[in-house]
Structure 1
Amino acid sequence: MTIRTYPFWWLTPYLVPVFEREPSRLADYLALRRRDWHYVGLIVALMGEMAEDTDHFAAVERGLLSRKRKDVLADVAPDVPAAVLKLVLKLSGELWRPASYRRLAALVEDEHAIEVLRRRKAISRRAIRTLYRLPPILRTEKVMSRLKRSQDVEELIFTLDVVRRIRPDMTEEDILRSLSQCKTEEEEDIMRRWVQHHYQHAPFPAPPWRGNEDLRPITSFAELKRLALEFDNCVRTYHLDVLDGTSYFYRYSEKGRPVATVEIVRLPGAGWSVGDIEGIKNDTVPATIVGRIRAIFAEAGIGAMPPQLHRGSWFRYY
């Protein structure tokens, strides 16, 4: 028989031979409700290549609508938990593709995923696709609520990996909790805001030199912000340079009075060197004080870049 239309979607080639043998069976399938079609689709999808065996399919189909569903599932896919049958009752839309049913069956075996699915009144194919793509630890309702677009999954996985790397001081649970607590007016901006938050709390690298009473290293973003406010300058914008290991800042004071911010820079292949020394509001620092600061660093083995040199033109571009 040549099939010209597909009234039963992708199941049509499997069911037509059944109707040819027993025309009365057509009425049984025409009477099925949407959730019943999802059950049929699940079973046939789980049969895999065995569904192509006409005799095997006929044997399964013979009791497909009359036997207890858990018994049919046990015969077709004994490793799939029977809990999947309850979830089938909540599937939305028309008949799904076979791959979607297989993903559903796989997710039922994951405790995180099934908890999300059990709580939902309706389960969409998009939700299954999203859950399946997520690592098990991310399969939570709070995470799912953040994923508005299909590309959000890829963005989340990438961002999570970045946060793991920059926050070795946090546990996996703490990192995920921080995502659920992150708020922004624009939901599409949530991943960027989340990673920015963690960059601002990421531990700074160890200072190139531990400093002394007057020349103190700035060892966190919070301290860098305070330094920027104290000196009314823009050093906080160099935050990522510090994390990247190309810059480090020190606060210089005399008799407890703030005098200068000092940036030391890493020269490619040549180690650290004293760079800019700026006063409050980027005012020029007296040469005598600059000399004292450079001398302190020189004793620590850190030389000074001549002020007329620009490290961007000398060491970054050719």
Structure 2
Amino acid sequence: MKELERKRKGEGEGREAAPESYNTVTKLIAGPFAKEVAQIWPGPRLGEYLTATDTRRHVWHLWFSSRRMSFRPDNPMSTELAYAQLTFGRSKDLITQATGSQPAGLIRALGRLGPKARPARVYRALATILATDGPGAKFIRHAAVLPDDLILGLATLPPGLEAKSVLRLFQKGRLPPYALGYFTWSLARLEKLMGSSAAQSIVAARNPLEAIRDAILDLPFPDPPWPGNSLLRPVTARDRLKKVGDDFENCLRGFHRERQSVLTVINGVEYLYEWCGHEPALLLFQRVGSIGWFLKEARGRKNAEVSDETRAEILKSLASASSLCPVWDLGEEVWHSDGFFQEHVIFSGM
């Protein structure tokens, strides 16, 4: 009995040493999985983890990353079961447990991740890419190095879309990895809408990502909520929006603000109207579902406030448009009860 107590005490001392290892070597190599490693390989066992091959350690990291596993590092029984499973289990079996399949090339790819652990989402992304077996998988199998941003970027590639031209752009350093999925899908959609020549021009551009953004922003504006009249004229194109910004000398002249405004218009969220009365003004309407549009902002040249007389004229003109709310200052208290539109101050300036 005394011998058993001494043995248990020795095991306890071994586990008490884990936090020290966790704070130094374990944290350096195991990174986000340092807690799990310190619990499964405490004290003298830590050498088993540290002396394992990079490939084997990354198989363990993949196992930790999986949402399929129910390992609990704070439960001694779960820890002992995990130790036996990870120590004696075949890498292929552990991968099957972690991913539910055997993605071709996964073990080899794990062996090229280097000595240190990667974030959990990188392991999940790598397994997903290779399980999908699309263009991203082929790229992974032939890549000499596998940085995190590349793996995460390849994981965003939409399945079923041609990505060879996009991946060539990335290989040449002309496209960042985070934009791979967005660029591939957008290019396919623009090619369908505008033709292959438009897509080829984007790919051939000096900055393809900037070119595809411009192509999207140059899409036609949707029909205005109200056709307007001789005094109230909708801004129906990007070129006209730029011209209005220059004429009014307001923030629409700014590169980012102009782009943001165009995007909100083509997304059907906002619409701009020019007031062509004695005192010119620019009106910004925001959509309220299928009900209509309310006046969010109205300013004159250089963001100046408009006079009371012009306000009255604008409201009179709006009264003939059923889809436009003929109220000058809705006030955020209208939506205060549920917080809806609480962030908008109707006459806050443009």
Q: Which has the larger radius of gyration?
A: 1
- Normalising by the residue count of structure 2, what TM-score does the alignment of the two structures yield? 0.46
- Normalising by the residue count of structure 1, what TM-score does the alignment of the two structures yield? 0.50
